[in-house]
Amino acid sequence: MSFEKEVEERVEENGRNEELKASALNFMQASLKPQYSYNFSWLGRPIIQYPQDMAAMQQIIWEVQPDLIIETGIAHGGSLIFSASMLELNAVCGGNADAEVLGIDIDIRPHNKEAIEAHPMFKRISMIEGSSIAPEIISQVHKKARGKERVLVFLDSNHTHDHVLEELTAYAELVTLGSYCVVYDSIVEDTAEMCPSDRPWGKGNNPKTAVWEYLKDHSEFQIDKGIENKILITVAPDGYLKRVR
């Protein structure tokens, strides 16, 4: 049996292992209050992600070989730097030498913008300041994606149901066949009681509920449970959406 087949079988078994999945959820719940995800950086910039999701994204970026990665939500810029560095590695290994990352945020703080622009990976990054669901911003993003053969989308900004649903409506259609739209922080539905009370999202009003709503009318996307079963620790349960047609 090949190593790849062994991995596939282990991942499938993970999906049936309720004790293991419960342990993973317990860790997620326990790790939110101490802000576990704030402990990591990528090439010098805070990334505010779980390492397991970062590993999954590396694998997706390698497999998809995107010409363009679109990200909503910039914060400190670590995710932009991560994506750009993965595209740089793809290029070194024979991938698209001109692949790039586009980040959108309603408020790109000056000190973060300065640090991102000073980073060696900025050569692959462009940024737009404004609401990701504003018509003029959506138009700019669609223009950037025009003519790209392989497009990958990450949604990680405002986590309310309505906002994420509008982002999905605006940007998921840009995802190319075989690529992904990854919706972060769908874990809110499963851990709402651990979330800060001052946030406008919570149980019944979060990225996961937006995904469920979107998929009712968009069978061209399927939830890739294989990724979730592989990494187990993830902020994006039901959030790895693969375009299948």
> Distance between CA atoms of 116 and 187, rounded to whole angstroms?
28
Say what the pLDDT of residue 99 is: 98
Q: Backbone phi, then psi, for 127, in 5-degree steps?
A: -135, 145
Are 36 and 71 within 8 A, CB to CB? no
Tell me the CATH number at 115.
3.40.50.150
Say what the pLDDT of residue 195 is: 66
Q: pLDDT tens digits, residue range 171-228?
A: 999 999 999 999 999 999 999 777 666 789 999 999 999 999 999 999 999 999 999 9
Counting as low any pLDDT under 70, the low residues of the chain are 195-197
Number of domains in the chain: 1
> Distance between CA atoms of 13 and 5, rounded to whole angstroms?
12
Residue 157 domain boundaries: 3-243
Say what the pLDDT of residue 1 is: 82
Are 108 and 129 within 8 A, CB to CB? yes
